[in-house]
Amino acid sequence: MQQALPLGTSDFRSLRINNEIYVDKTDLVFRLAQHRGKIFLARPRRFGKSLLVSTFESLFKNGLTHFQGLAIENKWEDKTYAVARLDFSSLKTFKSLEQFQTAFHSLLLSAFIPLGFKFNSDNKDLLFIDQLKMWLSSLPASSIVLLIDEYDAPLTNHLDDPEVFNTIRDCLGEFYTAVKQYEGCLRFFFMTGITKFSNTSIFSAFNNLQDISLDVQFGSLLGYTEEEISHCFSSYLDSAAHELKLSKEKLLELLREQYDGFSFDRQARTHVYCPWSVLNFFAKPSEGFQNYWYTSGGQPTVLMKYLTSHALKSPTVYDEPVLVSLSDLGASRQYDEISIEALLTQAGYLTIKEQVGGDYVRLGYPNEEVSRSMAQLYASELLRGQNLVQSGVPILAKILTSETPETVVDYFNRALTSIDYVRYPVDSEAACRAYLQVLLIGAALVPRVEVHNAFGRSDMEVEVNGRHWVFEFKYARSSNETDRLLKEAIVQVQSNHYGKTTDNKELIRVALVFSAEQRRFVAWESV
């Protein structure tokens, strides 16, 4: 009988009891858990951080009860411990700061009371945190395990309100300081998050916290390697290949292009697939290689809040690699000091492609799914919430499939005039092309830019069902240039035979002139 997919399962014990597929990471779990460490791990959403925390919880609380047949079974010889697990994602929403503090104390009580903590609410002279300190100070050395999942969730939800942010930070900081002060009671401490804020007190309080986020030996701790997919999901690969009428080799090639490519170690030695995307594909392969990233993992609160007051780089550099220092990626920084490149890497949009020298890495999109997600993010930012479909314009792919060039140009103009011109000015032919490129990709299309043939290179081409569109753009800085530039574009398309290599598709070639003064296409002609 085929094992069930662990789609949406973040509880290790439940996964094992229900015989769901578990991709065995326990050799790395053992490497971390065997020492008396205090460890931090940052990863994007949908990579299994909560399942990893649950795995540590099961190991320390119940020993090898649920680890039969796994790599750790013949290595682990430690005893069991009292385990406190705190999921800070439960503290994201509240109506008042008093409600947050009440919820936070309730979370701590629910975790520590089973371990022996007794809070005396009648003692008005001794604050909650002081009573917690007294209890921690009474514990034997190396007697408890503390696990914190999504440490940054309460903070990132309130980045747009400095007063609330600072109050939450101070409240959490008191707890971190208390744990640091009596850390001798800790056998093991493990904490996860998406980003690394320096102004949260956690990294200053735990000055000996080991950050393994970019560690080479733990690059595959979260995510699936291709070897793990081939081994653990072999029957699902066979089923999907049969359903899509592909060879197993071709299916793996397409999976690799769509969902692989995430590299979390500073030397880019290992790369992994996004588990959420792979599991969703195997659950419904007949739907093809859908974009599961953007709606489920690609809009983390920290990034979306950041973009309310910061701009993405110009879409003209949408698909260009980015060079950054490792110190910029790995350092903890205040929210306002985080670079957009570091934040996009932490969110999973960019990944390490290669190390350049000893101190720099080159970043890029891990795969096609994330590249499309980035285009969707750009489209969302460019239009700033203005939904062209809701305003009466049909879906772009449908327009290109069945409508006239006039309707396509009208759509382009609606999109370009909707862009936040202050943040994203269309100030060149390259910018005009780049903005339309990301809008097309955001619409799940695959445009190609600067397409070469023997005679020259077209600005942009895209195939949609039975049609092949060719677009040649010109940028008019003044109105008296329009006619001349349109004629130039027409001659260029004709003399260079753009799109002529396409077989069995309806070829539609359009020359367009964008006006800097009117911020729209003011002239066009079907060639």
388 sits in which H/E element: none
Per the model's pLDDT, the better-predicted residue between 504 and 501 turns out to be: 504
Which residue, 477, 499, 474, is CA-closest to 485? 474
pLDDT at 206 over 80: no
Alpha-carbon separation of residue 110 from 62, 144, 322 (angstroms)? 19, 15, 45
pLDDT value at residue 50? 97
pLDDT value at residue 90? 92
- Mean pLDDT for the chain overall: 90
Q: Poorest-confidence range of 177-191, 300-314, 483-497?
A: 300-314
What is the rounded CA–CA span in Å between residue 203 and residue 185? 19
526 bridge partner residues: 510
pLDDT value at residue 294? 79
pLDDT tens for 313-365 read 777 787 788 999 998 888 777 766 778 888 889 889 999 999 998 889 999 99
**What mean pLDDT is predicted for residues 34-61?**
95
End-to-end CA gap in the chain: 59
Alpha-carbon separation of residue 397 from 28, 115, 287, 418, 440 (angstroms)? 45, 58, 18, 19, 8
Which string of DSSP letters, residue by residue, matches 441-465?
HHTT---EEEEE-SS-EEEEEEEET
- pLDDT grade for 198, boundaries at 50, 70 and 90: low
pLDDT value at residue 384? 65
Alpha-carbon separation of residue 504 from 465, 469, 507 (angstroms)? 11, 13, 9
Query: Strands 82-87 and 448-452, how do they pair?
Result: unpaired
pLDDT at 388 over 60: no
Which residue, 24, 154, 41, is CA-closest to 93? 154
pLDDT tens for 266-316 read 999 999 999 999 999 999 999 999 989 877 766 777 787 777 777 777 777
pLDDT value at residue 169? 87
Degrees to nearest 5, angle at CA 167 with 164 and 172: 125
Which residue, 284, 324, 444, is CA-closest to 373? 444
What is the rounded CA–CA span in Å between residue 67 and residue 16? 8
**What mean pLDDT is predicted for residues 485-503?**
89
C-alpha Rg value of the chain to the nearest Å: 27
- Tell me what percent of the residues of the chain surpass a pLDDT of 90: 64
Per the model's pLDDT, the better-predicted residue between 334 and 212 turns out to be: 212
What does the chain come to in residues? 527
pLDDT value at residue 235? 96
The encoded tokens of residue 60 equal: 């320390």
Which residue, 338, 319, 339, 342, is CA-closest to 329? 342
- Tell me what percent of the residues of the chain surpass a pLDDT of 70: 95
C-beta of residue 511 within 8 angstroms of C-beta of residue 490: yes
The encoded tokens of residue 232 equal: 């653990």
- pLDDT grade for 389, boundaries at 50, 70 and 90: very low
**What mean pLDDT is predicted for residues 406-426?**
87
pLDDT value at residue 164? 87
pLDDT at 166 over 90: no
Q: Poorest-confidence range of 29-43, 215-229, 443-457?
A: 443-457
38 bridge partner residues: 189
- pLDDT grade for 199, boundaries at 50, 70 and 90: low
